[in-house]
A and B are shown apart, each in its own frame.
Chain A
Amino acid sequence: MTLNLRIWRQKDSHAEGAIESYELPGVSSDMSFLEMLDILNEQLIGKGEEPVSFDHDCREGVCGSCGAMVNGQVHGPDTETTLCQLHMRRFKDGDTLQVEPWRSAAFPVLKDLVVDRSSFDRIQQAGGYVSVATGSPPDANSVPIPKDDAEAAFDYAECIGCGGCVAACPNGAAMLFTAAKVAHLKKLPQGQPERERRVLSMVDTMDKEGFGACTNHYECTAACPKGVPIDAIATMNREYLRATFFSKEGV
């Protein structure tokens, strides 16, 4: 098939960007979206134009590197699918696809479709862990954990940190991302001792990084390629409230 691509091109974080149009013939329905971009790039290189920059690595939906808005949709039209797992059989000959980077004040564009998501790391650094030094833990079976709790914890822990939730949110909130870690560790006995510190510190950092507030649009969970459950946010809100009452330490 032949596609009409409209792609955001921006030289670096200081430059003004703009949409450029390209016609791309020879797209096979078995290709992934990123393979389609690969052949566009081969075509551009052939013409002596700089290829489109985009983040990607595993190409199997787990590293969280890839992501773009395709016709205004996070990671394109399929549910629970990263951009690298989106396949071109989803589109047809003659389609026009507008491809843009995540848009959020907290994710500045670095080049073309590449954005800076380091704010996500800083939220995790603020408390997304259990403080356990290497070598000290007891036998892994010493504390049984109900199967259902372990499964629920996994559902939150599966977040790949792609940033799609922020890009989907009209307010640019990072609630689902932050809440996924809070809810994961809240489900497990290992997470209890630092429960209050964790949520206070992570939420505080999230706010400082310039993410917006949550006003219950639920776009985040609809866009999430891993289907991280929305109840994580309610859990985080409860945890936060509880912590502000009970925490003796503050942050």
Chain B
Amino acid sequence: MSSQFKLDSACPSGPIESRWDNHRFEMKQVNPANKRKFKILVVGTGLAGGSAAATLAELGYNVTSLCIQDSPRRAHSIAAQGGINAAKNYPNDGDSIYRLFYDTVKGGDFRARESNVYRLAQVSNNIIDQANAQGVPFAREYGGHLANRSFGGAQVSRTFYARGATGQQLLLGAYSAMNRQIHAGKIDMRTRREMLDLVTIDGVARGVICRNLITGELERYAADAVLLCTGGYGNVFYLSTNAKASNVTASWRAHKRGALFANPCFTQIHPTCIPVSGDHQSKLTLMSESLRNDGRIWTPKERDDGRPGDQVPEDERDYYLERRYPAFGNLVPRDVASRAAKERCDSGYGVGNSKQAVYLDFKDAIARDGEDAVRAKYGNLFHMYEKITDENPYQRPMRIFPAVHYTMGGLWVDYNLQSTIPGLFVLGEANFSDHGANRLGASALMQGLSDGYFVIPATVCGHLAGANLQPVTTSHEAFAAVEHEVREKTDKLLSIGGSRSVDSFHRELGLTMWDKCGMARSESGLREAVDKIRGIRESFWGDVRVLGESENLNQSLEKAGRVADFLEFAETFAVDALHRSESCGGHFREESQTEEGEALRDDENFCYAAAWEFQGVGNDSTLHKEDLSFDYVKLAQRSYK
């Protein structure tokens, strides 16, 4: 099919170090007095949306902010544990902006844009300064300076943290910055609102339709720019480490209105999560990557070794990451660590009742540093582990297994974070931009805050100053038309009156996704997945039971809308995974591996971002390719040995 879009990444040229500065200099500006005339709608109040709303309001724009939860402080970002990267080089261990850039491009297995990643590394240091000035209580050394720890895929210590609650503290920082602007009347904050569609006029994003989750009313919001900061779609797998309300709805409905969706199959499966305990399981809990600073991962050397972990003697343990990857050891990137755990379990070395687990052991760290030192660093994680499993991780090794955690794919955006719909910008986990095929730990918080505090405030002016926007109000017929479609869909969901709950469909979808589109994917499995997803979608629309009314708080109805979108989106996910017959990062095609079982890229044929254009539910989407070039970090097979 011929391309309707010319995918222009709008990346500046010239030496990589000066691209961002030059770009900002050349950007059209909005003068300070005019800023208040522009209305910006920010959907989502996580790190990306919270930081964007606060900063844009500080600059003088007229900001309206929306979120699903009852308070902006409760966005999913609150749950991030381990830390945030920055190239401060405080430990003097040889870090630099260039090294952070290099590690991130390599960590992403060469499927991200160099210009974006360099900018991310550049602003990383400003983020730490900003958060610190807000009063975020980062961990410190006795001398009073900020402490660092190590995360996967790096050989330097560049991760800043606040115990095991870094996301909470950073989000509360952004929330406090928002609060200052709400108090000043510059942000109109609307909580318990779910965006259910995007309104475009003459092809330009001009607003959204939202459901007031308390009254059920559909509301219209008009704006000069719409920012989607709505997070990732890991919950398409049903079980993931994401918060329960995390969803694809805002992105998917924007996609159906013309925004291309890039690399939907790029998913991160995190190696260290608490294993599933039974059919009742409603979500999975992460055990932060920071634990791999001190914890050692192993399985018994014998298959089906039934002994409790603490009773397996040292010489009968296989520290398989240290064995296979001596240079990085337990700190290999997530995709590598997850596959290695799967390999051990598939080969019969798994532990625990389900045999779908490996050990993460702190015995040596406790012997070396003492239990108190370990508690000071990881106390809240150990506490959480004990709550959930009823086992004491100071005495017995933790049992862990990989789980869906993060989505690198998302709406396609250019260097300005603008989607293929003019005026629609996408920030944070919802966009596809900076992490390629695998995200390194502690870089999502960095990206969300980079997008919100530093990138969008500079790039949104280009649109506002350049687009010759005519004023619109919510009485424009486009709002009425979209609202009508949303109402029809809601009414339909309530009228089916079938026999099965929304959750039962969501679980069924999740199982298919995990089996066929999880840690290992194959052509036949993916074809099967497409068929199954279509089947589940069909039975959903024929047999779902959503009780209650639309004019009231109705959590089943909310879930039903989200699951309906997951059921459409999942097909695009599987199709993307099918078309990319190479392995790269977290996308592992069984057909494409090295002799040692590592992901084997095919740069000849797949060195691009795959951006999909919607052509109707059940119809083949159109593929557009954004070719990626690597002028600084040379394309090479990744090695962590």
> Contact residues of A with B, CB < 8 Å?
11-12, 28, 30-32, 34-35, 38-39, 41-42, 45-46, 48-51, 53, 55-65, 80-81, 85, 87, 89, 110-111, 114, 116-118, 120-121, 124-141, 144-147, 150-151, 153-154, 157-158, 160-161, 184-185, 188, 190-191
A30 closest partner in B (C-beta): B277
A150 near B138 with CB under 8 A, answer yes
B176 near A124 with CB under 8 A, answer yes
A52 closest partner in B (C-beta): B555
> Which of B280, B390, B457 gathers most chain A CB within 10 Å?
B280
CA distance A81 to B387 in the complex (A): 9
Please name 16 pairs of A and B residues whose Cβ atoms are closer than 8 Å in the assembled complex, sorted by A.
Answer: A30-B280, A45-B501, A45-B556, A49-B547, A55-B70, A60-B384, A81-B387, A87-B388, A135-B130, A135-B453, A141-B88, A144-B143, A146-B144, A154-B162, A188-B137, A190-B134
Interface status of B7 (Cβ within 8 A of chain A)? no
A134 near B140 with CB under 8 A, answer no
Interface status of B282 (Cβ within 8 A of chain A)? yes
CA distance A181 to B244 in the complex (A): 27
CB neighbors of A among B574-629 (8 A) = none
B73 near A12 with CB under 8 A, answer no
A111 closest partner in B (C-beta): B553
Q: Which residues of A contact B162 (CB under 8 A)?
A: 154, 157
Interface status of B470 (Cβ within 8 A of chain A)? no
Interface status of B132 (Cβ within 8 A of chain A)? yes
Q: Which residues of B contact A138 (CB under 8 A)?
A: 129, 133
A-B pairs with lowest CB-CB distance, top 3:
A144-B144, A137-B133, A129-B176
Select one of B244, B277, B555 contacting A59, CB under 8 A: B244
Asked whether A12 and B552 contact (CB < 8 A) given A58-B243, A63-B79, A129-B134, the answer is: yes
> Contact residues of B with A, CB < 8 Å?
51, 54-55, 58, 69-74, 76, 78-79, 88, 90, 126, 128-146, 162-163, 165, 168-169, 172, 175-177, 179-180, 182-183, 189, 191, 214, 243-245, 277-278, 280-283, 285-286, 383-384, 387-388, 390, 453-454, 457, 501, 503-504, 545, 547-548, 552-553, 555-556
Select one of B71, B128, B177, B383 contacting A140, CB under 8 A: B128
Asked whether A50 and B548 contact (CB < 8 A) given A30-B277, A42-B501, A114-B553, the answer is: yes
A30 near B278 with CB under 8 A, answer yes
B180 near A56 with CB under 8 A, answer no
CA distance A51 to B503 in the complex (A): 12
Select one of B243, B282, B387 contacting A87, CB under 8 A: B387
Q: Which residues of A contact B163 (CB under 8 A)?
A: 154
CA distance A135 to B55 in the complex (A): 9
Q: Which residues of B contact A42 (CB under 8 A)?
A: 501, 503-504
Asked whether A134 and B503 contact (CB < 8 A) given A58-B79, A61-B384, the answer is: no
Q: Which residues of B contact A87 (CB under 8 A)?
A: 387-388, 390
A82 closest partner in B (C-beta): B387
B135 near A120 with CB under 8 A, answer no
Asked whether A134 and B55 contact (CB < 8 A) given A49-B547, A63-B74, the answer is: yes
A45 near B135 with CB under 8 A, answer no
Q: Which residues of A contact B139 (CB under 8 A)?
A: 150
CA distance A139 to B281 in the complex (A): 45
Query: How many Å from the CB of A164 to the closest CB on chain B?
Result: 15
A189 closest partner in B (C-beta): B135
B547 near A150 with CB under 8 A, answer no
A57 near B244 with CB under 8 A, answer yes
> Which of A129, A147, A184 gathers most chain B CB within 10 Å?
A129
CA distance A60 to B78 in the complex (A): 10
Known A45-B547, A61-B387, A134-B54; 18 more pairs at CB < 8 Å = A30-B280, A35-B281, A39-B280, A42-B503, A56-B244, A60-B384, A63-B69, A87-B388, A121-B179, A124-B73, A125-B179, A129-B176, A130-B133, A134-B51, A144-B144, A161-B73, A184-B135, A188-B135
Asked whether A110 and B243 contact (CB < 8 A) given A35-B281, A45-B501, A138-B129, the answer is: no
A59 near B74 with CB under 8 A, answer no
B145 closest partner in A (C-beta): A141
A181 closest partner in B (C-beta): B176
CA distance A12 to B283 in the complex (A): 28
B282 near A147 with CB under 8 A, answer no
Q: Which residues of A contact B88 (CB under 8 A)?
A: 140-141
Asked whether A111 and B552 contact (CB < 8 A) given A60-B79, A118-B71, the answer is: yes
Q: Which residues of A contact B168 (CB under 8 A)?
A: 62, 158, 160
B70 near A124 with CB under 8 A, answer no
A36 closest partner in B (C-beta): B280
B146 near A128 with CB under 8 A, answer no
Query: How many Å from the CB of A205 to the closest CB on chain B?
Result: 10
Query: How many Å from the CB of B371 to the closest CB on chain A?
Result: 18
Query: How many Å from the CB of B65 to the closest CB on chain A?
Result: 12
Select one of B74, B176, B177 contacting A134, CB under 8 A: B177
CA distance A63 to B242 in the complex (A): 12
A65 near B74 with CB under 8 A, answer yes
B169 near A157 with CB under 8 A, answer yes
Select one of B135, B245, B280 contacting A185, CB under 8 A: B135
CA distance A141 to B141 in the complex (A): 11
Query: How many Å from the CB of B501 to the closest CB on chain A?
Result: 5
Asked whether A147 and B552 contact (CB < 8 A) given A85-B387, A129-B179, A190-B133, the answer is: no
Select one of B189, B388, B547, B553 contacting A48, CB under 8 A: B547
Select one of B51, B72, B133 contacting A132, CB under 8 A: B133
Asked whether A135 and B454 contact (CB < 8 A) given A45-B556, A63-B74, the answer is: yes
Q: Which residues of A contact B214 (CB under 8 A)?
A: 110
CA distance A128 to B178 in the complex (A): 10
Asked whether A28 and B144 contact (CB < 8 A) given A124-B175, A153-B135, the answer is: no
A53 near B553 with CB under 8 A, answer yes
Q: Which residues of A contact B282 (CB under 8 A)?
A: 32, 34-35, 38, 59
A29 closest partner in B (C-beta): B390
> Which of B55, B137, B175, B556 gathers most chain A CB within 10 Å?
B137
Q: Which residues of B contact A190 (CB under 8 A)?
A: 132-135
Query: How many Å from the CB of A118 to the closest CB on chain B?
Result: 7
B140 near A158 with CB under 8 A, answer no
CA distance A219 to B56 in the complex (A): 41
Q: Which residues of B contact A32 (CB under 8 A)?
A: 282, 388
